[in-house]
Amino acid sequence: MLLGEIFELVQLVFVVAFTVFLANCVDYDILFANKLVNHTDSAKVTLPDAFLPVDVCSARIRDNVFVIFILVISGVFWLHRLVKFIYNICCYWEIRSFYINALKLSMADLPYFTWQEVQARIVEIQKEHQICIHKKELTELDIYHRILRFKNYMVAMINKSLLPIRSRLPFLGDVVFYTRGLKYNFELIFFWGPSSLFENEWSLKTEYKRGGSRLELADRLSSRILWIGIANLLLCPVILIWQILYAFFSYTEVIKREPGSLGARCWSLYGRFYLRHFNELDHELMSRLSKGYKASSKYMNCFMSPLLTVVAKNVVFFAGSILAVLIALTIYDEDVLAVEHVLTSITLLGVCITVCRSFIPDKHLVFCPEQLLKVILAHIHYMPDHWQGNAHRYETRDEFAQLFQYKAVFILEELLSPVITPFILIFCLRRKSLEIIDFFRNFTVEVVGVGDTCSFAQMDVRQHGHPAWMSAGRTEASIYQQAEDGKTELSLMHFAITNPRWQPPRESTTFISQLKEKVQREAACGQQGVLHENHILTSTQSESEPHSLIANLLAGPPPLGSLHLGRDASVSNHAVDVGLMEGTSALRSFSPLSGSQHLRGSFASTRLPRGDGAALVGGRAMAGSGADARTASSGSSAWEGQLNSMVLSEYASTEMSIHALYIHEVWTPTMHCFVQELHRSPRRTVPEAVPRMYVPSAVTRSSTSSSHGGSCPVTRGTGGTATRAARVLPTTMKDCATFPGPTPSLVLPHPTKRGRCCTTPVSAAMVEPLSL
C-alpha cells in the first residue's frame, strides 16, 4: 500500500513531465522525415536528432501560458498528494506498531493470518487492555463500523435512491452514471471536505442532528454544492486532459497486446455499491463478485445478435484476406514494411479481426439464461424480482449491464466524467439538499465507543426491515425507514455467517434463528431430494480446476447420493458430514503436505452439532462449537492453517449463497402468487393471525385496507405468518406451492411468461464453483 502511493506520486510527475516534453521538446518534422538532418541526405537519423536543444525547449515552455497553467495546477495537486502521503505514513506506522505490540503479530507472519483471526485478537485485546476506553467489550460490529463508517452511508444513500446517478435519456433509456470522479465529489461534500457534514472522522456536526434549522442547513449545503460544481467546471479542462493522458498511457499497450480486452466486462462502480452489503469489507465484496464473474460473463454472452454475428464473420473474412496478402508480401520481401502505412494497416487489421471475433459466439456452447442468472444470484445476493422468469429478455440484460458493464464503457464514462460531473452537482444534487439533510439527521445514531454511524448499518430488522423480505411482524419501519431490495435482511444474514461469534440483538437473533429453522424444516419435510444434476448447466459451469471441488461435492456424486437439499436447498446433517469428509480427502490431494494427519484432525473437529440451525458446516462448526474452528490449525504449518481457514470461509460463503437463493426463489414468487390468488378471490378472508400485510411493489395493490391503514396483507416472513395464511388458500394454488402435511413444504417457484408459477428445484450448480 505504501509502495503503491510512492509510485502514484512518481506516475504523476512522469505523466506531466513526459507530456510537456512531447509537446515542446520534439521536432516532429525530423521524426517523420519531413526535414533532413543538417540538410544532408547521407546522414543517418537517430532518435536524439529529433530532440530540440535545451534552451529552445525551455523557451517554448516559458512562452506557452497554457503549459505554465498546467504545471502550476499539477504542482499544487502533487504537493497535496505529498502531504497526504506523509500523513498516511504516520498512520501506517501506528498500525504497524499496533499489530506488533498489541496483537503480537510480526510483519513476517501477518500474510498467514486471515481477517477473522486478526479481528478475534482485537476483541480479546480489548478485554485485557481496554484499548477502547468508552466500553468494556468490543464487538465485531464495532470494528466494522469504524472501518466502514462512510461507505455504509454511501451504500444506504444508493439503496434509498438519494444520489442523482440515474437518468432517462432519449434513445438510450435508463442510464446510470456513477464514476470515480463523481464519487470523490460526493465524499468531499458529505464527509471530509471543508465545511462538510462531519466535523471529524467519527462525529456528525451537532446542528445536522437537530431538525429545527433543516431549511437553513439545506440552503447552506446547496450553496456549497454550487461552489464545488463551479470549481469542477473551471478545472474541467485540466482534469479532462489528465484523464485522457492517463487512459492513453494505461490502456494503449493493453489494447495493442489484447485488442479484445475492451470487449471484456467488469463490475461497474454503481454495481459495487448496489450489490454491497452493509458492513462488508472490500476484500469480502471482491471475493463475492469475483466468484460470480464467470457466470455473469456467460450470461451476457447469451445475447449475441444473429445479425451482428453475420456482419462480424464477413468483416473478419475481408479484413483477414487483406491481412493475409500483406503478411505474405512481407515474408517474401521485408522491404514492404518500409512502404508508408503498411505496418499501420497490418496493426489495424489485426485489431479489427480480434474485435469482430468477440461478437462471434462459440457454436459448441449451450446457454441457459435462467439457470445462469440463478448462479449469479447465489453470489451477488441482490436481484430485482422481475428478473426471475425473464432472464431471456433483453430488458433484463440491459438492467444487468448497468451492474456489469463493458470495460470500454467504463473507460468512456471516466473520460466523460470531468465534463458531466459539474452539471450533475449543480443541476441535480442541489435539488436534493433538503433530502440529504433529512437523511443524515434521521439515519445517524451514536454508538458508544464508535461514534456516529449510519443506522442502516445496525442491521436492525425492527427499525429498517422490510415486511416483504421476511421481516413481517418484526418490523415497525415506515416506508421511508425501510431498506430496499432486502438490504437489511441479507446484510444481517451475511454478517452473522461471516462473523459467527457476533451476538446480534434479540430481534435480529430471532430473525436469523427462524430463517435457519425454516430452512432446516423445509429440508426435513421434503419427501425426496430435488438436487438433481443438470447436465446442460454442468456443461456450461464445470471446471477441471480445484476451485470447482466444493460445487461438485454439492452436486451429488457418490457417496453423496444421500445428500438432500430440501425444497429450500438446505443441506441435511448427515449429508454435510459425509460431504465434509469427502471434501477433506479431496482437498488433501492438492496439498504438498498430504502426508500430514493434522488436516484431517482439524476437519474432524468441525463435525456438525445436531440441531444447530445453520444450513452448512461453515455456520454450524463456527457457531455451534463455541470456539473458532480456525484455531484447530495452530499446531500445523502455515499452509495447512490457511487451507483450513479458506475451506471454512468457502462453506460460509456457500451457506450465504443458499440463504440468498432461498429468500429470492422461495418467498418472492410464492408471495406474488399468494397476492394474485387473493385478488382472484376477493371474498376469501385472511386469518386473524395476519393483522396486516404488505404487497410487493411488482404486484398491483388491493384496495382492501387493514385496521392499520396498510394494504392487503402478504409477507415473505419465516415466522409462520405467511404460512398460516397460505394454508387456507384453495387447491388452485398448487401451481405455485405445495403444502403436504401439517407443516408446509415449499418448492422453488418462479413466474413464467404467462403469469403462472412453475416449480424449479435449486441445483447445487447454482452455486458457482467456489474459488479456493
More confident residue, 309 or 575: 309
**Percentage of the residues of the chain whose pLDDT score is greater than 70:** 69
pLDDT at 665: 66
pLDDT in tens, 498-541: 999 999 988 888 888 888 887 777 766 654 444 444 444 444 44
Q: What is the mean pLDDT of residues 298-319?
A: 91
Give the burial string for 631-663 (b: 16+ CB within 10 Å, else e): ebbeebbeebbbbbbebbbbbbbbbbbbbbbbb
- Residue 197 to residue 193: CA distance in whole angstroms: 9
Q: Which three cell numbers stand for residue 122?
A: 482485537
Q: Mean pLDDT for the chain?
A: 75
Q: Which of 153-167, 443-457, 526-540, 754-768 has the lowest mean pLDDT?
A: 754-768
pLDDT at 306: 87
Q: What is the mean pLDDT of residues 644-664?
A: 76
Q: What is the mean pLDDT of residues 268-286?
A: 96
pLDDT at 437: 96
Q: What is the mean pLDDT of residues 69-78?
A: 92
Q: Quickly count: other Cβ atoms within 10 Å of residue 598's Cβ.
A: 16
More confident residue, 141 or 506: 141
CA 624 to chain centre: 29
pLDDT at 604: 38
pLDDT at 746: 34
pLDDT tier for residue 618 given thresholds of 50, 70 and 90 = very low
pLDDT in tens, 89-102: 999 999 999 999 99
Residue 587 has pLDDT above 50, yes or no: no
- Yes or no: say if 620 and 614 are a contact pair by the CB < 8 Å rule: yes
Q: What is the mean pLDDT of residues 126-132?
A: 84
> Which amino acid type is present at position 334?
E
Q: Quickly count: other Cβ atoms within 10 Å of residue 103's Cβ.
A: 17
Q: What is the mean pLDDT of residues 638-656?
A: 69
Nearest CA to 284 out of 115, 124, 108, 474 is that of 115
- Residue 772 to residue 768: CA distance in whole angstroms: 12
Q: CA angle at residue 740 from 738 to 745, to 5 degrees?
A: 60
- Residue 1 to residue 413: CA distance in whole angstroms: 27
- Residues in the chain, how many? 772
Instruction: Give first-to-last CA distance, the chain, whole Å.
Output: 24
Q: Which three cell numbers stand for residue 744?
A: 408446509
pLDDT at 621: 36
Q: What is the mean pLDDT of residues 109-134?
A: 88
E strands, 217-367, in order: 265-267
Nearest CA to 457 out of 444, 474, 448 is that of 444
Residue 208 has pLDDT above 80, yes or no: yes
More confident residue, 445 or 340: 445
pLDDT tier for residue 243 given thresholds of 50, 70 and 90 = very high
Residue 757 has pLDDT above 60, yes or no: no
- Residue 419 to residue 126: CA distance in whole angstroms: 49
- Yes or no: say if 525 and 745 are a contact pair by the CB < 8 Å rule: yes
pLDDT tier for residue 43 given thresholds of 50, 70 and 90 = low
pLDDT at 704: 35
Q: What is the mean pLDDT of residues 703-720?
A: 37
> Which amino acid type is present at position 143?
I
Residue 40 has pLDDT above 90, yes or no: no
pLDDT in tens, 226-235: 999 999 999 9
pLDDT tier for residue 734 given thresholds of 50, 70 and 90 = very low
Q: What is the mean pLDDT of residues 31-37?
A: 79
- Residue 475 to residue 715: CA distance in whole angstroms: 11
pLDDT tier for residue 579 given thresholds of 50, 70 and 90 = very low
Nearest CA to 620 out of 500, 499, 767, 764 is that of 500
Q: Which of 38-42, 61-65, 376-380 has the lowest mean pLDDT?
A: 38-42
Dihedral Cα 642, 648, 654, 659, nearest 10 deg: -140
Residue 450 has pLDDT above 80, yes or no: yes
pLDDT at 645: 66
Three-class DSSP category at 566: coil
More confident residue, 760 or 642: 642
Residue 363 has pLDDT above 50, yes or no: yes
Q: Quickly count: other Cβ atoms within 10 Å of residue 94's Cβ.
A: 10
- Residue 110 to residue 104: CA distance in whole angstroms: 10
Full-model pTM: 0.75
> Is 340 buried (19+), middle (13-18) or exposed (0-12) by CB count in 10 A?
exposed
Three-class DSSP category at 739: coil
**DSSP single-letter state for residue 204:** B
Residue 436 has pLDDT above 60, yes or no: yes
> What sign results for the dihedral spanned by CA atoms 133, 138, 143, 144?
negative
Q: Which of 333-337, 545-549, 723-727 has the lowest mean pLDDT?
A: 723-727
pLDDT at 686: 35
pLDDT at 46: 81
Residue 694 has pLDDT above 70, yes or no: no
- Residue 436 to residue 191: CA distance in whole angstroms: 12
pLDDT at 627: 38
**DSSP single-letter state for residue 629:** G
Hey, which residues does 103 pair with through a beta bridge? none
Q: CB under 8 Å, gap of 24 or more: what pairs does 323-327 form?
A: 323/349, 323/350, 323/353
Which are the contacts of 430, defined by CB distance < 8 A and separation ≥ 6?
222, 225, 226, 229
**Percentage of the residues of the chain whose pLDDT score is greater than 90:** 43
